[in-house]
Amino acid sequence: MQGVHMKKAVSGLMLAIASVLPNAGWAQPASWPDRPVKIVVPFQAGSATDLITRQVALVLSRDFGQPFVVEAHPGAAAAIGSSIVARAAPDGYTLLMGGPAAVVTNRFTQKNLGYDPDKFELVSMVAYTPNILLTTPGQPFKTLPEMVAYARAHPGKLTYASFGTGTTSHLAGELLKQATGTDILHVPYKGAGEAIPALLGGQVSLYFDTIMTGLPQVRSGKLVALGMSTAKRSDQAPDIPTIAEQGYPGYDIAPWYGIVAPAGTPEPILDKLNAAINKALQSGELRTKLAEAGAEPYGGSRESFKELIAKEIPRTRKLLEQAGFVDK
């Protein structure tokens, strides 16, 4: 009899283990999060992406009652950090603050990428950073229409800087050339820290810079703003007209920041995160902090995030083809 009881006990134990194993280590949507959540930033600590992510993480930590910890894993134009998240368990405890490079551009600019951008679960757009088209006071033009007229009269003479090939500042220049029918030479730099001095020093004629670093130079009189790259004027610089309203409707391009998760992350967790991020973006405190980082709140549904990416992919490919960076 004792042997029978022992067999039943062992059998019951095995059934209990079997029922637990499939879920071991995986988040149950109802209880998520019940431990710290990691948000990977695929750029350097102190970058705009890092600053924006840290502000969002503070609000989410408070709302969920669990730490949202930001980890920077820079390198390879966001590919290193993106790969880490793509390989992580799809349990809602590892997220990525994605952007144009991680989710869109890298598929065209890097071979052997190490992850599939299409397999990320899109959670929510968070913010975007308006770019300003800048020039120096010494140029023979002071407005966008004057610049376009000059560029058309002197094809190939003007140059524009970017903070790297394939970056939003590069694509903004290519979109400008496409919209205006001008021939302006692209000069890539390794970052804004090199591009701004090149513009100030007269090595290049134009530069699309983020509002955070570009606007102070405009306010000081060292640089001239020709237009904003976004569809609407920036709340931080309402006096600077958009490129679109100066005769180029539809011109709209800017760095953006959005939370994505590994493929297979449960839908209830994704929905829960989306709702929390959108709620956080209504906070006056977060909106102020984003403005300090040169960003403006975005938000929206998971579906609207998918629609944005669906539009960005073909446009980015076309611009890179135009620049001769990818084959047609």
Residues 135 and 228 reside in one and the same domain: yes
The total domain count for the chain is 2
Q: What is the pTM of this model?
A: 0.83
The enclosing domain of 193 has a CATH number of: 3.40.190.10
213 band by pLDDT with thresholds 50, 70 and 90: confident
Q: Does residue 106 lie within any of the structural domains? A: yes
Q: Does residue 287 lie within any of the structural domains? A: yes
Q: Does residue 182 lie within any of the structural domains? A: yes
Residues 173 and 270 reside in one and the same domain: no
Q: Does residue 24 lie within any of the structural domains? A: no
Give the residue among 278, 171, 283 at the shortest CA–CA distance from 229: 171
Last residue of a domain, one of 221, 246, 271: 246
23 band by pLDDT with thresholds 50, 70 and 90: very low
Q: Which two tokens stand for residue 61?
A: 């930590």
Residues 113 and 135 reside in one and the same domain: no
User: Which span out of 13-17, 163-167, 257-261 was modeled with the highest average pLDDT?
Assistant: 257-261
Instruction: End-to-end CA distance of the chain: give it in Å, rounded.
Output: 78
**pLDDT tens sequence across 141-155:** 999 999 999 999 999
Last residue of a domain, one of 225, 246, 267: 246
Distance CA 68, CA 65 (A): 9
Q: Does residue 21 lie within any of the structural domains? A: no
Distance CA 3, CA 28 (A): 37
Whose tokens are 């990320």? That residue is 120
pLDDT at site 26 = 53
* Percent of the residues in the chain that have a pLDDT greater than 90, as a whole number: 74
Residues 230 and 263 reside in one and the same domain: no
Distance CA 100, CA 92 (A): 22
Residues 221 and 232 reside in one and the same domain: yes
pLDDT at site 210 = 87
Give the structural domain span for 156: 131-246
The mean per-residue pLDDT over the stretch 195-207 comes to: 95
Pairing of strands 296-297, 131-135: unpaired
Residues 208 and 235 reside in one and the same domain: yes
Q: Which of 8-17, 211-220, 308-317 has the weakest average pLDDT?
A: 8-17
The mean per-residue pLDDT over the stretch 71-97 comes to: 95
Residues 139 and 212 reside in one and the same domain: yes
The enclosing domain of 118 has a CATH number of: 3.40.190.150
Residues 205 and 64 reside in one and the same domain: no
CB 253 within 8 A of CB 171: yes
pLDDT at site 19 = 44
Residues 240 and 266 reside in one and the same domain: no
Last residue of a domain, one of 246, 276, 303: 246
Residues 120 and 137 reside in one and the same domain: no
Q: Does the structure show a pLDDT above 90 at 24? A: no
| Those residues with Cβ within 8 angstroms of residue 62's Cβ, 6 or more apart along the chain or in another chain | none
pLDDT at site 46 = 83
Q: Does residue 272 lie within any of the structural domains? A: yes
CB 53 within 8 A of CB 295: no
**pLDDT tens sequence across 221-246:** 999 999 999 999 998 999 999 999 99
The mean pLDDT value of the chain amounts to 90
Instruction: Calculate the alpha carbon distances from 260 to 220, 285, 300 in Å.
Output: 38, 23, 14
* Percent of the residues in the chain that have a pLDDT greater than 70, as a whole number: 91
Distance CA 241, CA 221 (A): 17
The residue ranking higher by pLDDT, 18 or 74, is 74
Residues 174 and 104 reside in one and the same domain: no
3-state SS class at 113: coil
pLDDT at site 28 = 66
Q: Does residue 25 lie within any of the structural domains? A: no
Residues 230 and 176 reside in one and the same domain: yes
Q: Does residue 144 lie within any of the structural domains? A: yes
**pLDDT tens sequence across 279-323:** 999 989 999 999 988 899 999 999 999 999 999 999 999 989 888
